[in-house]
């Protein structure tokens, strides 16, 4: 932001939104809430922007994600983006960290229900073939993260932490080496099924899991 202006995504400047007397007066005259008051009473805005950003990333890709597009999808002023995030990298890091955390939470929840190795194996099959990891928005956002991390090592801290949490959930039922192999199987097979015109059947997935846990 320059004095009295915000920079647009194309680099051009526009006047910053003002909360001056005329805007406050208009809001009060119509029985509304002054803009500054709305901001003060929207403590969850940053969290909401992160969620909205994930949807924008899934729909338009990282290359098509801009502050303006996220702000429009969240129905907030463009200035909210520069207020809550230092830049696009900050927004992307926050969004992908949330994606990884939510997916790892699913691993924790699903695997915590298993009491035996057999049940844990069934849980792994369910993770690969179920709807949670294969939901369109989750899969598309995940693919965007993989591509970004492949190009920019600083984003690999997110994928590395994600894999570590997945293996930790698997460690509750399997030795470290088996957990590592299962984690790779889950990741690779989920992608294989998502991208194939003839996805691997559930029975084949089950066979693959059983060959790892019962070599």
Beta strand residue intervals within the chain, DSSP E: 5-7, 13-15
Delimit the domains of the chain by residue range.
Answer: 5-85, 96-213
Q: What are phi and psi of 87, to 5 degrees?
A: 175, -175
Protein fold of 96-213:
Tetracycline Repressor; domain 2 (1.10.357)
What gap in Å lies between CA 57 and CA 51, rounded to an integer?
10
**pTM of whole model > 0.85?**
no
State the pLDDT at residue 83: 96
What digits encode the pLDDT tens for the residues 128-155?
999 888 889 999 999 999 999 999 999 9
Query: What is the rounded (10 degree) CA torsion for 125, 131, 133, 138?
Result: 170
**Under DSSP, is residue 44 helix (H, G, I), strand (E, B) or coil?**
coil
Please say whether the beta carbons of 144 and 101 come within 8 A. Answer: no
What digits encode the pLDDT tens for the residues 59-92?
999 999 999 999 999 999 999 999 999 999 999 9
Strand partners, 13: 7
Number of H helices and number of E strands within the chain?
Answer: 11, 2
Q: In 10 A of CB 185, how many CB atoms?
A: 18
Residue 92, Ramachandran bin (φ over 0: left; ψ between -120 and 50: alpha; else beta): alpha
Lowest mean pLDDT among 19-23, 163-167, 200-204: 19-23
pLDDT for residue 35 is more than 90: no
State the pLDDT at residue 43: 80
Name the token pair of 62: 């990282």
């Amino acid at each position: 932001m320059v004095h009295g202006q915000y920079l647009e995504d194309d680099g051009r400047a526009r006047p910053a939104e003002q909360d001056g007397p005329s805007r406050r007066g208009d809001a009060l005259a119509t029985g509304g809430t002054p803009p500054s008051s709305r901001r003060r009473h929207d403590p969850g805005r940053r969290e909401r922007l992160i969620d909205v950003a994930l949807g924008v990333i899934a729909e338009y890709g990282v290359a098509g994600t801009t502050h303006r597009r996220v702000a429009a999808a969240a129905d907030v002023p463009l200035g909210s983006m520069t207020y809550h995030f230092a830049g696009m990298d900050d927004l992307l890091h926050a969004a992908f960290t949330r994606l990884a955390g939510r997916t790892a939470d699913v691993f924790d929840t699903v695997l915590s229900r298993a009491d035996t190795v057999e049940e844990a194996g069934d849980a792994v099959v369910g993770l690969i073939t179920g709807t949670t990891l294969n939901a369109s928005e989750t899969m598309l956002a995940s693919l965007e993260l993989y591509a970004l991390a492949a190009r920019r090592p600083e984003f690999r801290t997110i994928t590395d932490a994600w894999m570590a949490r997945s293996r930790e959930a698997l460690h509750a039922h399997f030795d470290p080496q088996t957990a590592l192999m299962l984690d790779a199987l889950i990741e690779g097979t989920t992608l294989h099924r998502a991208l194939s015109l003839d996805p691997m059947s559930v029975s084949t997935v089950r066979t693959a899991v059983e060959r790892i846990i019962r070599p």
